[in-house]
Amino acid sequence: MTTVTSPLAGRAIGLAAVPDPVFSGAMVGPGTAIDPVREASEAVSPVDGVVVSLHPHAFVVVDAEGHGVLTHLGIDTVQLNGQGFELLVAKGDTVTRGQAVVRWNPADVEAAGKSPICPVVALEATADSLSDVVESGDVKADDQLFGWN
């Protein structure tokens, strides 16, 4: 089983509360979402694995079992063209859980008129393959968000 931990500190709100139908409808995959604390911070890897996709606003890490976890920093943040995001690793890098991947500031995203809500999604998973999904309450980086069987 893969344990997926939070890439950032904030409040778990669940995917249904994400202001984007692609995520809230779980079209990308099941998971949860974090409403992040409004301060400059580093989004960290939610699993040990390889960075297979890396953009300023989103990244995917695939673990040894082939489970890909998407961390999406904010909604519609692709429109910011990378402004306010600093990549700390490269695509193809092997990372460990809790390792910093992207530095950003959710308050700046909000000031730019975008939602800072961060979906954390199990790619190509079924809803019943996840367990103990955290959909409410405060979380710290590295707190467990869900298990993936």
Catalytic residue positions? 72
Burial of 39 (0-12, 13-18, 19+ CB in 10 A): exposed
* Residue 140 DSSP one-character state: -
CA dist 129 → 68, 105, 106, 110, 121 (Å): 13, 32, 30, 33, 12
Element holding 2 (H helix, E strand): strand 2-5
77 SS3 class:
helix
Q: How far is CA 83 from the centre of its chain?
A: 18
Distance separating alpha carbons of residues 129 and 90, to the nearest angstrom: 29
